[in-house]
């Protein structure tokens, strides 16, 4: 993990909504490094936004393929939690007009498609944001994709309960391409 990568400064409009602009280099090919199968070493914070420093580690696998003539992709995430099988699914869509990616998540526990995180890549590092609720409190979450090593990308997630002044990293996925 490289915590030296800065999270871009957040910008809000007069209504408090996030303003997200695409980088100049954003393209429908930003996630091409992730096509195929990966094995993953997960490191997940046991509890979020409560000064917890206990981490849970577990293995998983993931397979991603493109859809919609390359302006989208889907992946399946397979793991076992407490002896129970778990499946997650991500749908990523690239808007050619705005050059922004929207990333949607659902899993076998909820069956609900979460609201998207939105953003783009710059220099093989992507940041994707959304306003959300966590335990009934407003938060901003960020997903970071670090694809500088395309054979071993790192996905991470953080939350902020102070509008981006401070961030708590709560999940890291260290991926290794298997094909």
Which among 175, 171, 154 is positioned nearest to 47, based on CA atoms? Answer: 171
Which among 170, 168, 175 is positioned nearest to 156, based on CA atoms? Answer: 170
Chain centroid offset of residue 119 CA: 10
From the number of C-beta atoms within 10 Å of its C-beta (0-12, 13-18, 19+), residue 77 rates as buried
Task: Calculate ∠ Cα 127-155-31, nearest 5°.
Answer: 70
CB neighbours of 96 closer than 8 A, spacing ≥ 6? 28, 71
pLDDT tens track for 36-75: 999 999 999 999 988 889 999 999 999 999 999 999 999 9
Alpha-carbon span 19 to 13, nearest angstrom: 6
pLDDT tens track for 80-130: 987 889 999 999 999 999 999 999 999 999 999 999 999 999 999 999 999
The CATH architecture to which 36-48+58-177 belongs is: Beta Barrel (2.40)
This prediction has a pTM of 0.93
Domain positions in the chain are 36-48+58-177
């Amino acid at each position: 993990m490289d915590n030296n990568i800065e999270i871009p400064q957040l910008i809000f409009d007069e209504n408090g909504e996030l303003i997200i602009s695409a980088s100049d280099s954003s393209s429908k090919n930003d996630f091409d490094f992730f096509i195929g199968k990966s094995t993953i070493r997960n490191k997940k914070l046991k509890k979020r936004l409560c000064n917890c420093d206990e981490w849970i580690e577990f293995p998983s696998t993931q397979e991603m393929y493109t859809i919609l003539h390359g302006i989208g992709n889907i992946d399946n995430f397979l793991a076992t939690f407490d002896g129970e099988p778990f499946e997650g699914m991500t749908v990523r869509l690239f808007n050619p007009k705005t050059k922004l990616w929207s990333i949607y998540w659902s899993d076998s526990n909820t069956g609900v498609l979460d609201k998207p995180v939105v953003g783009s890549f710059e220099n093989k590092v992507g940041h994707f944001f959304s306003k959300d609720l966590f335990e009934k409190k407003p938060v901003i979450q960020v997903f970071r994709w670090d694809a500088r090593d395309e054979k071993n990308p790192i996905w991470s997630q953080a939350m902020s309960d102070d509008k981006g002044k401070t961030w708590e990293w709560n999940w890291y996925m260290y991926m290794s391409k298997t094909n």
